[in-house]
Amino acid sequence: MNGKEQSETRVADAPPENWVDTHAPAWARPYARLARLDRPIGWWLLLLPCWWSVALASTGWPSLALLLLFFVGAVAMRGAGCTWNDIVDRDIDAAVARTRSRPLPSGAVSLKGAFIFLALQCLIGLGVLLSFNSFAVLLGFSSLILVAIYPFMKRITWWPQFVLGLAFNWGALMGWAAVHGSLSVAPLLLYLGAVAWTIGYDTIYAHQDKEDDALIGVKSTALKFGAATQKWLWLFYGIALAAFAGAGAAAGLGLFYYPVLAVGAALLVWQIVTLDIGDPARCLRLFRSNRDFGLVLFIAIVAGQVA
């Protein structure tokens, strides 16, 4: 495959007509795909817990400067996390139909190039982190071990989604720390809820790959739960909603928080009752709908602070 063909290798599960495929320079496309910039749902799911936490910690409207910093950090670190994940999983990805078109297994990006790109993204994330207070900086560094070990979890446990939840929702603690320079019960409950939420939505996502995963020996909650997935989703989404309600109460949010949270609850119920684990396209659509849930929860927290 020549360089031009490699730059045009689209990733199988990217949205059609995404901006990377239609507007990014040809030389940048493989790296943009490696950072998942063609699939913005990932950075949304990393960013939203940060925004929830900033809003929960605020008095009145959240700081736009902090929201912007977390946006830049989330895009950079989501890209870094995906790059690291793809470096570790390059052989597994080559054996899975949905992922063999990714830049590393397809040959569009070399291993050396991926490591250099990883370092550049980490430097951007470091720049954002160092703009926070010292407590938030130390808290941010403490998440790195979770980020580092996550790609290996699918090889040793049926619960890699739990480790993903621990790593991916660190922002639920970081936003509060960036505002207050400490932690309290409210962000801890927010973090608990976010972890349970991630186990739910990433189980839905993992059902796309369950046949390939079973063949190559990769573990996931989708394989563990199997036909009982909907029952498990009731449990984890229920824990998430209870924890989010508790976080709002601990932070002293106003009454407007709860009816808007109920709208979010309806979105999660819709995911459960319409799930078809045998339909990969449906699973992907339901997974992506979690951006909408996250935005609703952010609006709920802001409403609880200002209304």
Output the tens digit of pLDDT for each of the chain's 307 residues: 444 444 455 665 566 667 787 878 988 899 998 998 888 899 999 999 999 999 999 999 999 999 999 999 999 999 998 999 899 888 888 887 778 888 999 899 999 999 999 999 999 999 999 999 999 999 999 999 998 899 889 889 999 999 999 999 999 999 999 999 999 999 999 999 999 999 999 999 999 988 877 878 889 999 999 999 999 999 999 999 999 999 999 999 999 999 999 999 999 999 999 999 999 999 999 999 999 999 999 999 999 999 8
Question: Using an 8 Å Cβ cutoff, are 230 and 272 in contact?
Answer: yes
- Tell me how far apart the alpha carbons of residues 211 and 74 are, in angstroms, rounded to a whole number: 31
> What CATH number does the domain containing 252 carry?
1.10.357.140
Q: Is the pTM of this model over 0.85?
A: yes
What phi, psi does 183 have (nearest 5°)? Answer: -125, 165
Q: How many CB atoms lie within 10 A of CB 182?
A: 13
Give me the numbers of helices (H) and strands (E) for the chain, helices first please. Answer: 19, 0
Residue 197's nearest CA partner among 294, 276, 262 is 294
Question: Using an 8 Å Cβ cutoff, are 210 and 216 in contact?
Answer: no
CA dihedral defined by 49, 198, 282, 95, rounded to 10 degrees?
120
- The total domain count for the chain is 1
- Tell me how far apart the alpha carbons of residues 20 and 40 are, in angstroms, rounded to a whole number: 11
Using alpha carbons only, give the angle 29, 163, 114 rounded to the nearest 5 degrees.
25
Q: At what angle do helices 290-306 and 229-250 cross, to 10 degrees?
A: 20
Full domain range(s) for residue 248: 3-13+24-306
Residue 50's nearest CA partner among 110, 128, 104 is 128
Q: How many CB atoms lie within 10 A of CB 167?
A: 21
Q: Is residue 19 part of a domain?
A: no
Question: Using an 8 Å Cβ cutoff, are 203 and 225 in contact?
Answer: yes
Q: Is residue 157 part of a domain?
A: yes
